Structure 1
């Protein structure tokens, strides 16, 4: 979440007039995150997050809003879009596709996750993967194996020799990723600590479904493990890891193929976010409030997984 498109107050007042949400009280840009323009919006009848989509067009945005609505209707605590007076979720503001999403209580996790928070995320992700079996819309991932390969090729000339050698070897190891025989379906694919809201250790909601797509369910779990289960050094912590995995596995068991490919998928998830952050760092986009996250955090995690595969045997 960043601010690339500035919204004038008069524009926003007119936009909100098409909803039954009362009058505008205040709004402010959100600097967290990277991809879209976001504002906190407060009206006389509620609190919302306004998102202007910087990269997606109308044809594909309906999918994301359908995912959010689906999970909300299936008992997953999650952000869901508000409909305008004509029942529409998706509109236009400042020349960009826009949606008004009900703002949930709670805060993102800005420090290391607690064991209680890891337990909550493990359990809710398992529930999401079970519920998602009934979601019928399809959308291919934008950041899959092909994207990782092509993005790596554009970045190789900007890296030191030792990192270049490691990246080439990792791409070789992951060359068969797209053909793995693993359960797949709708995934969040970006369930980081800042995309889940908590009140203490109580989960109040999952947000930011704008990377949702068809992927291996194991990849979704790997993304969460790589972010939630690290300690203050940025490396995987066994207590957090075991807690998340145990609560996930209480909801959904892993197949033999998933168990055999766990390390590879953990590495693929780390590679994806290292490359995307590195791309943002080397080829930054302009915005009023933007946040470029440190790519080295995921380079560190990728190297860890290459040298220290995490076990699936728990106490």
Structure 2
């Protein structure tokens, strides 16, 4: 399939909006964030909209099973919005949130939310409280929908991101082999990674409760107005996994800076979460460790030192957690 140009995409999006929304496109502003997928803020005579085009080199959109996973994630976003949750409203057509243009590209269209991003590591205490509360509300909505057998929320047979020692060891060995010519910093990070893998017990690889999870609650996917969370965005990765992963990712992104975890912001997040949903002591510690088990293989890589800004932030989080692994129980175990 010939790759559509940006002008062609904008024209076809304008035609889709006029036919199906219906709205007249007045102007577009390209958002150049994220990897490959094209995104726009669209000014229309019906208000501001957000449009994302899924790039075929980023996502396997020719694969029906994969498309359905993204459609399910968007349906979960719609459920959260309909419950009053702070997130954009996906525009549906014949009950679906993903739409196809004449050129063959798949798109989503949704309302725009107010607010602005806060840099990673700098989200304030009241903001973290608000995020914790909203995260718990999101999990409750999805748990109730799953329990009632509601549409997209019916749990699949397989859990996403279930780990095993054997898989982790194989992945580490492949990374170590590829890092023969890497810097000493990278090789030291890999050595530390291996020592942690060898120390893991079964309990570290088994978060207690499965459920629908956003799986991408990091700073760039959060909008704030003052001290309050305005919106959670980008639900594309939402899968049936372990909701505690959302806690770990949010706390890492929101509260970890060069000096370590900002304890007040960590406690505020957990307080907000517990104001809606019970959370046993030690759950955050387990969540942080599980996030590391999943993500450290993405970011601790031979190419680490050539990363751009965003991957570098994730790699630094993984290295910091690895370096502090033995101290994590004292830092987070009583929360």
Place the TM-score, normalised by the shorter chain, in its bin: 0.7 to 0.9
Cα 1:244–1:87, aligned 2, differ >3 Å: closer, same or farther? closer
Deviates more, 1:166-175 or 1:181-190: 166-175
C-alpha deviation, 1:95, in angstroms: 2.9
Contact (CA 8 Å) 1:219, 1:266: kept in 2 or not? yes
Cα 1:280–1:143, aligned 2, differ >3 Å: closer, same or farther? farther
Cα distance in 2 between the residues matched to 1:11 and 1:181: 44
| Partner SS for 2:208 | coil
Gaps of 5+ in 2: 61-65, 147-153
| Partner SS for 1:42 | strand
C-alpha deviation, 1:220, in angstroms: 1.6
C-alpha deviation, 1:21, in angstroms: 4.2
Cα distance in 1 between the residues matched to 2:11 and 2:294: 40
Contact (CA 8 Å) 1:223, 1:270: kept in 2 or not? no
State yes or no: 1:250 paired with 2:275. yes
C-alpha deviation, 1:268, in angstroms: 2.3
Deviates more, 1:13-22 or 1:99-108: 13-22
Q: Which residue of 2 aligns with 1:184?
A: 210
Structure with higher helix content: 2
Contact (CA 8 Å) 1:222, 1:266: kept in 2 or not? yes
Cα distance in 2 between the residues matched to 1:151 and 1:39: 37
Aligned length: 302
C-alpha deviation, 1:249, in angstroms: 1.8
Cα distance in 1 between the residues matched to 2:196 and 2:284: 15
Q: Which residue of 2 aligns with 1:89?
A: 97
Cα 1:13–1:279, aligned 2, differ >3 Å: closer, same or farther? farther
Q: Which residue of 2 aligns with 1:76?
A: 85
| TM-score, normalised via structure 1 length | 0.82
Contact (CA 8 Å) 1:24, 1:42: kept in 2 or not? yes
C-alpha deviation, 1:5, in angstroms: 7.2
1:205-260 deviation line (CA, Å, top 9, x unaligned)? 111111111222222211111111223x16211111111112212222224xxx45
1:155-188 deviation line (CA, Å, top 9, x unaligned)? 3322543222212223334463686261221111
Contact (CA 8 Å) 2:24, 2:45: kept in 1 or not? yes
C-alpha deviation, 1:138, in angstroms: 2.6
Larger radius of gyration: 2
Cα distance in 2 between the residues matched to 1:267 and 1:303: 12
Q: Which residue of 1 aligns with 2:155?
A: 138
Contact (CA 8 Å) 1:190, 1:211: kept in 2 or not? yes
Contact (CA 8 Å) 2:282, 2:332: kept in 1 or not? no
| Partner SS for 1:263 | helix
Q: Which residue of 2 aligns with 1:48?
A: 49
Gaps of 5+ in 1: none
Contact (CA 8 Å) 1:123, 1:248: kept in 2 or not? yes
Q: Which residue of 1 aligns with 2:150?
A: none
Cα 1:18–1:192, aligned 2, differ >3 Å: closer, same or farther? same
State yes or no: 1:229 paired with 2:255. yes
Deviates more, 1:176-185 or 1:203-212: 176-185
Cα distance in 2 between the residues matched to 1:150 and 1:21: 52
1:194-273 matches, within 5 Å, as: 194-231=220-257, 233=258, 235-255=260-280, 259=281, 262-273=284-295
Deviates more, 1:148-157 or 1:73-82: 148-157
Deviates more, 1:304-313 or 1:210-219: 304-313
